Amino acid sequence: MAGVPRVRRRVDGVLLLDKPVGMTSNGALQAAKRLLEAEKAGHTGTLDPFASGLLPLCFGDATKFAQMLLDADKSYDATVHFGIGTSTGDHDGDVTKRAAADFDRAAIESMLPRFLGTIAQIPPMYSALKRDGRPYYEYARMGIDLARVPREAQIHSLALDDWSPPLARISVRCGKGTYVRVLAEDLGHALGSCAHLAALRRTSTGGFAVADAVTLDMLADMAADARRALLAPAESLLADMPPVDVDDATATALRQGKVVAAPSLAAGRYRCRDPRRVLVGVVEAAGGALRGHRLCRTDPAENALAPLAPRD
């Protein structure tokens, strides 16, 4: 109802969202944030509007550990359209080149090993990378083509799942910062043709899979309690980090910003839990001492769903 302020609540956890085609990552985040009436939220790696698939969303304390998923490996199902190049490297761009795509499946498969491991990619002009405080895509829209420095990308696996000329469906597992659009274009060039990305779907991020995700429509049809029950704990973002359990006195000291003795703990970062297995946060051991690196709020359980002051 117009004029009625929305309630924002303390919500902690990770929501696995299956982002639809045609929506920006921020648009999807804001829609989910409204449905959960959440006070604080962020996503863990942008998906272009034309792409769909897994977009983990972090709420409350989980936003403090979102970098873990930003840095994580990701998997995609990519549909590459050979024989046509576009201004953006995907199907939303203007056609800039046409070429024959008369190769067979074996030719594509023989080329894939070239792109495994550490490769160099020239970032696309239609990207969020910035020059002098402005994203590349703003320069591209003004017709300015900037000189770009190649960047390293990690391709862990590539497989041709289907070849229905001129479309190839390829599964990709890669490291952070990899441009699948550029991979499609470079593959087209390597085959003596050109190519663009016709479709892209993210299937996994770190240890999370799109099979476990929900759509915005599914979320909208749920009751409020059911929506919040979908949230994985913030600690799920730290699954690859070694745990360290501490007693109440140590947990209290760490939460107060104090340094505590830990002579037997190897140097490094840990996910720290108190005796009730409540996440204290990420702590760092060095020189026989333990200190907080990024800590959760001290009252997660009793205030997780407590309403905050309404805001317009």
Residues 311 and 39: their CA atoms lie apart, in Å, by 10
Those residues with Cβ within 8 angstroms of residue 261's Cβ, 6 or more apart along the chain or in another chain: 288, 289, 290
Please report where in the chains the tokens 């982002």 appear, as a residue.
19
Inter-residue contact 298 to 255 (CB < 8 Å) = yes
Euclidean distance between the first and the last CA atom of the chain, given in angstroms as a whole number? 12
Helix (H) or strand (E) holding 139: helix 136-141
Closest CA to 171 of 193, 180, 53: 180
State the Cα–Cα distance between residues 104 and 82, nearest whole angstrom: 12
Q: Is 94 a catalytic residue?
A: no
Q: Considering the candidates 18, 48, 77, 186, report the single residue annotated as catalytic.
A: 48
* Cβ proximity of 101 and 80 under 8 Å: no
Which residues carry out catalysis?
48
